[in-house]
Amino acid sequence: MKYLYVLYMVIPLYMMLLALLAAEESIPENKEEPPSGIEKLFMKTASYIYRRFLKKNRFFLRSPGRRHVKDNLIKLDYEGDINKKLSSYYIKKICTMLILVFMGSLLALLAGYSSGRESNLNNNGEIIRSTYGKGEKQARLVAMDETGESIGDFSLNVSEIEYSKEEVEQMYKSLIGELSNVILGENTDLSHIKEKMYLPDSIKGFPFEISWKSDNIDALRSDGRTGNDDISFQGEKVMLTANIKYKEYEWEHVFNLTVIPRDFTQDEILYQEINGSLAETEETTRTQDKFSLPVEADGVVLFWKEKNDDNSLVILLVSIVAAISIFALGDKDLTKKVEDRRRQMILEYPAFVSRLVLYMGSGMSVRAILMKFSREYKTQIGEGGKKSFLYEEITKSCRELESGVPEMSVYERLGIRCGCQQYARLVTLLSQNLKKGNSEMMALLREESDKATAERMSYARKLGEEAGTKLLVPMVMMLLIVMVVIMVPAYLSF
C-alpha cells in the first residue's frame, strides 16, 4: 500500500518539477481565449515537453500520425505557419493529458488516504468501539496465518459502548395462513430439521394472521432459518409456536421440532471457530473502548489487517488510460473538421458556379466578381452571418489580388486550397481563359454549372442513404420494444 502512495505522490511532484523547469517557456498565442492561472502553468509545461522531447525527435517527425495531422492543418488553413500550428496543436494535446494525469493522481492519493483513515483497527491490533450514541458499526477484517496467507474475510458488527442494561424486544409481523406440512420446506419431518423451514404469514383462502415464536432462537429463528451453521451445534429441541389471529379471536398451536447439525468441511470449521471467537470477544468487551482480536484458532496463528475498499489505483489507471486515449485518438476531431469543410465546399459549389455564370453573363470580369463576393461575405459576417469556408478562401484570394499577385497564380492557389475536384475543374477553365482566351467560355461555364447541379443532387442522395443507414439501429431497437409491449400482455393473458 505504501508503494502505491509513493506512486501517487511521485506523479504530481514530477509534474511540479517540470513546471519549474518550464517557468520561462513561451506558449502558443490564443486570440480567442488566452490561458490563465493553472491552465497557463500546464500549457507552459506541455510546451517544455514538446520542445524538449518531441519537436526534434526523429521517430516523431517521421510518424504517419504527424504527417496526417500536418496535412489536415494545411487543409484547414493553407496560408498559416504550419510549423507553428503543429506546435500549438500538440502542445494543447499534451496539456490535456497532463491535466488528466495530474488530477487523477491527486484523486487517487485522496481516495487512498481516505480509505486508510477510516480504520477501525489501531496499531495494536485492537478494535475501537464507537462512543455512546454513535450506533453500531461494521468492521471488515481479514484473518491471516503466520505465513501471511489469508484464511478468510470476516464481517463483524461492533456495538457501541454500553453504559446501561441492554433492552431487546423482538416483534413479529402479522401473517395469514393455515398450518400444515408446508412448514417443513425441504425437510423430511419435524424430527430432522436441517434446512430452512417455510413459515408462511398466510395461506390462501383463510382470513388468518399468523405469527411465529421459537423458544430457542439459537437453534431456530422465527423466520424459519436454522442456527446449525455453528460448528459447536449439537442438535436442539425447539418448541415452535404459531399465533393465529382473526379480529378479536386468537389461537396458539405448538410444534415440537428437533434441529440437527449439518456436516462441515475443515475450512468451514476453521472459519466458524474464528468467527465465533470474534463474536465472543466483541460481546464480552462491550464496556471497553477497545479490545484485542484472537491470536490463535484451531492451532493456526492469526495475524489481522483491516480490509479497505481502496479504489485509488483504479482512479489513477483510468486517468492515465483516458490521457493516452485522448492523445492517440484526438486526431479524429481534426480529421472530422477537415471532412466537414470538404462537405461544405462541395455543397456550396453549384450555387457559386451559378452566380459566377450569372455575373459573367452581365459583362463582369472574374476579378470583379470575386471582389464583389468578398465584400458581400464580409458584410454578412459583420451582421452575424454563418461562416463559409468557400468565401473565406475567396476573401484570401481577393487580398492576394490587391497585393499584386498575378491573377493566374491566385486562381491556381484557390483551387489548391479548396482541395476538391470540382474547384480544380473550375480553376482550369479560368486559367485557360486567361492564357489563351476562349470565346466559348460562357458555354463551358454553363455546362460546368449543370454538371455541378447534377453532382449536388447525387451527393444529396448519398447523404440521405447514409442517414438512413445510421437510423437503422435505433429503428430496430424501437421495433423490439414495440414487439415486447405487444407480446408480453398477450402472453400473460393466457
**pLDDT over 60 at 72, yes or no:** yes
Q: What is the pLDDT of residue 164?
A: 39
Which of 109-123, 276-290, 299-313 tops mean pLDDT?
A: 276-290
> 351-372 pLDDT, tens per residue?
888 888 888 888 888 888 889 8
What is the rounded average pLDDT for all residues in the chain? 77
Dist CA 274 CA 283 (whole Å): 14
Q: What is the pLDDT of residue 134?
A: 64
Q: What is the mean pLDDT of residues 177-198?
A: 74
> 148-167 pLDDT, tens per residue?
777 878 777 777 655 433 43
Placement of cell 459549389 in the chain: 349
Q: Taking Cα atoms as reference points, which of 51, 97, 87 lies closest to residue 66?
A: 87
Ramachandran angles phi, psi of 336, nearest 5° = -65, -40
Q: What is the pLDDT of residue 458?
A: 79
Confidence band of 232 (pLDDT split at 50, 70, 90): low
407 or 203, which is more confident:
407
Q: Taking Cα atoms as reference points, which of 206, 214, 198 lies closest to residue 244?
A: 206
* Neighbour-count burial for 432-466, b at 16+ CB within 10 Å, e otherwise: ebeeeeeeebeeebeebbeebeeebeeeeeeeeee
**Domain ranges across the chain:** 2-117, 181-267, 336-472
Q: What is the mean pLDDT of residues 213-238?
A: 76
- Are 268 and 257 in contact, with CB atoms under 8 Å apart? no
Q: What's the Cα-to-Cα distance from 431 to each of 9, 151, 326, 361, 366, rounded to whole Å?
A: 65, 86, 44, 18, 11
Confidence band of 173 (pLDDT split at 50, 70, 90): very low
Read out DSSP for 448-471?
Answer: HHHHHHHHHHHHHHHHHHHHHHHT
Q: What is the mean pLDDT of residues 282-304?
A: 82
112 or 354, which is more confident:
354
Q: 181-267 — its CATH code?
A: 2.60.40
107 or 208, which is more confident:
107
> 377-427 pLDDT, tens per residue?
888 888 888 888 888 888 888 888 888 888 888 888 888 888 788 888 888
Q: What is the pLDDT of residue 365?
A: 83
174 or 387, which is more confident:
387
> 23-61 pLDDT, tens per residue?
878 777 665 566 677 778 888 888 888 888 888 888 888
Confidence band of 176 (pLDDT split at 50, 70, 90): very low
294 or 32, which is more confident:
294
Strand-pair partners of 493: none
Q: What is the pLDDT of residue 397?
A: 87
Q: What is the pLDDT of residue 178?
A: 59
Q: What is the mean pLDDT of residues 85-100?
A: 86
